[in-house]
Every structure is written in structure tokens, then in C-alpha cells.
Amino acid sequence: FTAVRQVRRPEGVPVPEDFAVVTGTAPDLRAGQVLVQNLYLSVDPYMRGLMRREGWARGFGLEGRSLGRVVESRDPALPEGTTVFHHHGWATHAVLTGDEVRTVVAPPGVPLPAYLGVLGGTGLTAFVGLTRIARLQPGEDLFVSAAAGGVGGSVGQIARLLGAGRIIGSAGTPAKVRYLIDVLGFDAAFDYHDASVTEQLAAAAPDGIDVCFENVGGDHLEAALAALRTRGRVAWCGAIAEYNNPEDPPAAPRNLAEIMRKDLRVEGFGVRDHLDARADLEALVIPHIQAGRIRVDQTVVDGFDRIVDAFLGLLRGENTGKMLVRVAD
């Protein structure tokens, strides 16, 4: 196997030297174990947080959601050829037991890597934030930040299925803004580099918004608090603007009193507490993927040797849709 491990704690923005490649031979399987060849690996912003503490090693590499194929089996319930989801990422192979994997059978018309994107934790985060946290109602207007990313793109598409009113997104490049409008069908979108987020959101939503799905924090959240109508809700999913420098976060929203003035509800959440919603997500989304109404857009970096590039690129915004690494077909 080949795997990547963390060798030092990054200062600020991580660099390739924070990681090292290791190789080795997988041990002989014991009864109940399977050898999995990884096909797709997910790189995610939360991993930047894990890099601050020791102990995110898992299996041969580091924790990470992965899709792989059983290539050797000593578990009759997981014969060779079975496709599985597991958490031993950052490696070409993993030795796993049945309780560490979930079998994945992609229905016709559903690409396998969707199970790391709109049908994986990414889509589940979007679904839970909209339905359980913000409790989006038909006709309500929505703003989502980091809208062209994995979670953000799922939020826009799932919100449309839920009957949202106007959907507005922010992103970091003109190409992503065009993608949001032309490809994902957002009603409005803007590049947060162009002018203050508050001004741009006010221009895009002159009558205000009902719900904010917040992925960035800082000035984005401040803009949302200004734009929200009475009894609006914020599903606070992430704060990527501060992950590299938590000691020196962006100025917090200066208008927190809006929460009180407008009876707003601002609620953080973690998808880990809502894994029971997966069946509802699949029931809603799979038919729309099959009908071509939900796009499974992903940025796929080819080759295990590029996993560190993919992770660093994700933090720099090089992805449109979910960022994945293809290890094998």
C-alpha cells in the first residue's frame, strides 16, 4: 500500500512538507477482515481542524471518507468485488472489518462517486441544514455561501427540490458565479472579492432573505444577518474563512443585535448527529439524479500521489462541486 500521514502541525496555511508518503505491505487477513482497494477518496475542510491535534491516523493513512472495492476477503458477507464506503482514507488500500464498512450499490443512472458527494456526508449536510436546522419552507428565499463547493452546490439544488423561492449564492471566482447561475440555476450570485458581501447580498436580495446556509462565517454571516427578514434562520454549517487561522479569525459579525431585533434563529449543527436522515436524503435525491434534474458535479483529481495537492487546492478554492481524488477505476 501507499499512504499519506501528517508529520508536523501546520502553521497557518498547510504546505506539502506537513505530510509524508509511506509505503508498506498489508498484513495477512484475519478471519472477518477484508482488503479494500480504494477507488475514490474525499478531502474535506474539516481535516484542517484535525491537523491541529494528533490522532487522526486511521488504518494505513489518515481519516477520510472513501469508496473502495473488496479485493480479498475473509468475511463471507463481503465477497470480493463488493463496493464499500469506509473512513480509512489517505491510502490506496485498507484492511477493514464488516462493522467498519457500509456496502454501496449505486442504482442505475447514479454514478458511484455521488456517494461521496450529494449522496454522501456532503449532501446529507445540505439536506439536514435545510430541513432540520433552517426548516426551509416552500417559497422562502435563501442565501448560501461557498455556494459552488460540495455542500453549497447541494444546498442550492436540494433547496430547489424543496420549493425554495429565490436562491442566491456567493463564490470566489467569476467562473463559479457563472456556474451557479447558468448550470445550477441560482437566481443570483456574486463573487465575494468584488465588493463588500453586505452590499452585494443587499443588491442581489433587495427584499431580504428568509434563510442563510452559512459555510464561510465572518463578513458573509454579517451580510446575512443584515439581509434576513423577521424570524429568519441561519443554519450555521461552517466557517471556512477562519480554518487556517483560528487564533486570528475574521472580525465576528458586528451586527449580532440583528438576531434580537428581528427574532432570528442562528443554529449550528454537525452532520454526525443526523446520520439517520440518510434514507430521507436518498429517497428525495436519487430519482432526481436519475432524471437528470440533480447534477453530480465534482472536481476529480487523478492519482493517489496527488491527494495532498487536492486537499491544499480545496482550501484555495480550486474545486467546483465536491473535491475528490480518484485512486483507481
Provide the binding-site residues for ligand NDP, judged by CB under 6 A: 44-46, 122, 125, 146, 148-152, 171-173, 176, 215-216, 237-238, 240-241, 269-271, 314-315, 317, 319, 323
Q: Least Å distance between CB 189 and ligand NDP?
A: 10
Q: Which residue, 97 or 173, is less far from ligand NDP as judged by CB?
A: 173
Q: Which residue, 61 or 121, is less far from ligand NDP as judged by CB?
A: 121
Q: Which residue, 70 or 151, is less far from ligand NDP as judged by CB?
A: 151
Q: Least Å distance between CB 138 and ligand NDP?
A: 24
> What are the beta bridge partners of residue 48?
none
Q: Which residue, 15 or 22, is less far from ligand NDP as judged by CB?
A: 15
CB–CB of 109/73 below 8 Å?
Answer: no
Q: Which residue, 38 or 319, is less far from ligand NDP as judged by CB?
A: 319
> What are the beta bridge partners of residue 300?
324
Q: Least Å distance between CB 130 and ligand NDP?
A: 13
Q: Least Å distance between CB 249 and ligand NDP?
A: 11
Q: Which residue, 70 or 312, is less far from ligand NDP as judged by CB?
A: 312
Q: Least Å distance between CB 132 and ligand NDP?
A: 12
Segments of the chain assigned E as strands = 2-6, 19-23, 33-42, 57-58, 61-62, 66-73, 83-86, 93-97, 102-103, 142-144, 167-171, 188-191, 209-214, 228-236, 265-268, 298-302, 322-326
DSSP string, 230-272: EEEEEEE---GGGSS-TTSPPPPPTTTHHHHHTT-EEEE--GG
Q: Least Å distance between CB 160 and ligand NDP?
A: 17
CB–CB of 204/168 below 8 Å?
Answer: yes
Rounded Cα distance, 24 and 203, in Å: 56
